[in-house]
Amino acid sequence: MGTHHDCDVLIVGSGAGGAPTAAVLAEAGLDVLVVEEGPWVDQGAVTPFSLEQMERQYRNGGLTVALGRPSIAYTEGRCAGGGTEVNSGLYRRPSEQTLERWREGWAIRDFATGDFMALCDEVESALSVQTVPGRHTPASERLRAGAAALGWAHDEIPRWMTYPEGDDAESGQRQSMTRTYLPRAIAAGARVLTDTRVDRLIVDRGHAFRAELTDAEGGPVTVDFADVIVCAGAIHSPALLQRSGLRGLIGRGLAVHPTVKLAARFGEAVNVSDDVPVHQVKEFAPELSFGGSASHPGLIALALTDAWSTMRDAITAWPEIAVYYAAITSQGRGRVQALPGFRDPLVTYRLTRRDRDVLGRGLARLTQVMLAAGAREVYPSFRHAPIVRNRADLATLSDRFSATAASVMTVHLCSTVPMGDDPEVAAADSHGRVFGTDNVHVNDASLLPDAPGVNPQASVMAVALRNARRFVEARR
């Protein structure tokens, strides 16, 4: 027979969209059931950015690919709290220009900039968003110093962290969803069901009333509900909707921030394997930005793999090496397609010629920053890349670079169920109700009309609070 649950609202997913949604609805007195495909892993139970964390808290061990030329590797959290548990916690509000572009281009109503920024204020208070109170990690300081030497605009990005008074960047505790909004939801009566996958929603003439699930042992579970809010992320929210018979524009507008990487070796120890730099270079934003990546020894080896025959000897010096990235705002778009019989959807992405050119320029400029910061050697991540030791080697790097030879990846995924009142470009209305339904909602990164040019999770959480409160008002 299997297990059965009933609730007022089923929330699929517990990340930056699902957790705030659950807290708002549960605190309003609704009977909320949150279903999370991954496990609950307490903060501190695994080392951040370690291979163990990738195995336990990432989907497919952190290795998933959007097919294209080049293919783009992407990562997704698969655990209670979603991506907020596994990412660096860097927080950046969307610009006023971005909000205006979304409002005008997709006809989003009730989307005033002042109201949105007030929601960002609320998120920042709830998550203790702040800058590092003490010293920064060596890798972060190197990035700052390189940008300063070139006279390029740069700043420190705040994080959702708390710090012991007077301490430094390595002593913070990430204020992820399992420390903030999920405990709030549970305290208000929400139930959280982990290690359980929602396979499909049963929809009859635009009205969903039941979900079919599978538990960790493969057993069947059903949930009956009055409303469902899908917050499974920009890949798996559209895939679930498609498996449930909902199509239209769903899954067609995937937008990401493609990145290329390099490893830089300095003359002293700079590596902090369980943290990331908090400085970013914004001289060429929003088209292009530079930052620091996780630099666990295994990830350094991965950064050297594309030109392993040339660069493999550097791995023994890993304490002196840190990994950095160049991220672009892409003009290309991708697609998510659920396929019968397959657990994960087919994801494709097409970079434009402009995108490929900007990636090349970005890698060259990032290399300049590293040389200005005092790097002895720079190891770009693309096939047949040269080791760069001075400015003269930059010409060789630029001549050899090809986006199809690079290890392009992203951690920012959005725009697969864009919101707005213009059905020509949007798949859900201005508050996340899926067109063609009366009780199926989306409330995660899928709703963002395009990639914001910064870490999207501030936008996701603010949108989630906005839409959840509108949902409560409409229900009353």
Domain CATH for 109: 3.50.50.60
Give me the catalytic one of 279, 296, 412, 431: 412
Instruction: Using alpha carbons, list the distances in angstroms from residue 352 to 67, 68, 221, 381, 411.
Output: 14, 11, 43, 20, 19
**Residues 314, 189 share a domain:** no
Boundary residue ending a domain (407, 423, 440) = 407
Verify whether residue 412 is a known catalytic residue.
yes
Q: Is 146 contained in some domain?
A: yes
- CA dihedral over 407, 371, 327, 62, signed as positive or negative: positive
- Residues 28, 22 contacting (CB under 8 angstroms): no
Q: Assess whether 269 and 305 both reside in one domain.
A: yes
Per-residue DSSP letters for 320-360? GEEEEEEEE--S-EEEEE--TT-SS-EEEEE--HHHHHHHH
| Residues 260-303: tens digit of each pLDDT | 999 999 999 999 877 788 999 999 999 999 999 988 888 899 89
Claim to verify: residue 432 and residue 343 sit in the same structural domain: no
Q: 259-265 and 321-328: which strand pairing? A: antiparallel
Is residue 402 over pLDDT 70? yes
Residue 67 lies in a domain: no
Q: Is residue 68 part of a domain?
A: no
Spatial neighbors of 44 by CB under 8 A, at least 6 apart, are none
CA 253 to chain CA centroid, nearest Å: 16
Is 240 domain-assigned? yes
pLDDT (tens digit per residue) in 189-243: 999 999 999 999 999 999 999 999 999 899 999 999 999 999 999 999 999 999 9
The reply to whether 438 and 370 lie within a common domain is no
Q: What is the pLDDT of residues 84-111, one digit of tens each?
A: 998 888 999 999 999 999 999 999 999 9
Both tokens assigned to 372? 């200005």
Average pLDDT (136-160) is: 95
Q: How many residues does the chain have?
A: 476
Contact 4, 28 (CB under 8 A): no
**Does the pLDDT value for residue 319 go beyond 90?**
yes
287 and 322 fall within a common domain:
yes
Q: What is the average pLDDT across 418-446?
A: 98
Structural domain of residue 324, as residue ranges? 134-172+259-407
C-alpha–C-alpha distance, residues 7 and 379, integer Å: 53
Residue 358 has pLDDT above 90, yes or no: yes
CA–CA separation, 307 vs 188, rounded Å? Answer: 53
Same domain assignment for residues 401 and 320:
yes
Q: Examine the domain organization and report whether 427 and 329 are in the same domain.
A: no
Does residue 107 form part of some domain?
yes
360 and 398 part of one domain = yes
Q: Calculate the average pLDDT of the chain.
A: 94
Q: How much is the average pLDDT of 250-269? A: 96
Q: Do 340 and 396 belong together in one domain?
A: yes
DSSP state of 248: T
- pLDDT of 167 reads 64
Residues 228, 164, single domain; the answer is: no
Span 458-463, average pLDDT: 98
* Domain end residue (candidates: 373, 390, 407): 407
71, part of any domain = no
Tell me, yes or no, whether 271 and 336 share the same domain.
yes
- Does the pLDDT of residue 325 top 70, yes or no? yes
Report the domain count for the chain.
2
Domain membership of residue 402 (yes or no) is yes
DSSP state of 50: S
The per-residue pLDDT for 334 is: 97
Residue 168: what pLDDT?
65
State the pLDDT confidence band at 166, using cuts at 50, 70 and 90.
low
Same-domain status, 184 and 216: yes
Segment 55-64 shows an average pLDDT of 81
Per-residue pLDDT at 170 exceeds 80: no
Q: Which of 378, 407, 436 is the last residue of a domain?
A: 407
119-143: string of b/e by CB count within 10 Å (b at 16+)? Answer: bbeebbebbbbbebeeebbbbbbbb
Mean pLDDT of 234-257: 97
**Residue 60 maps to a domain:** no
Look at residue 57 and tell me whether its pLDDT is greater than 70. Answer: yes
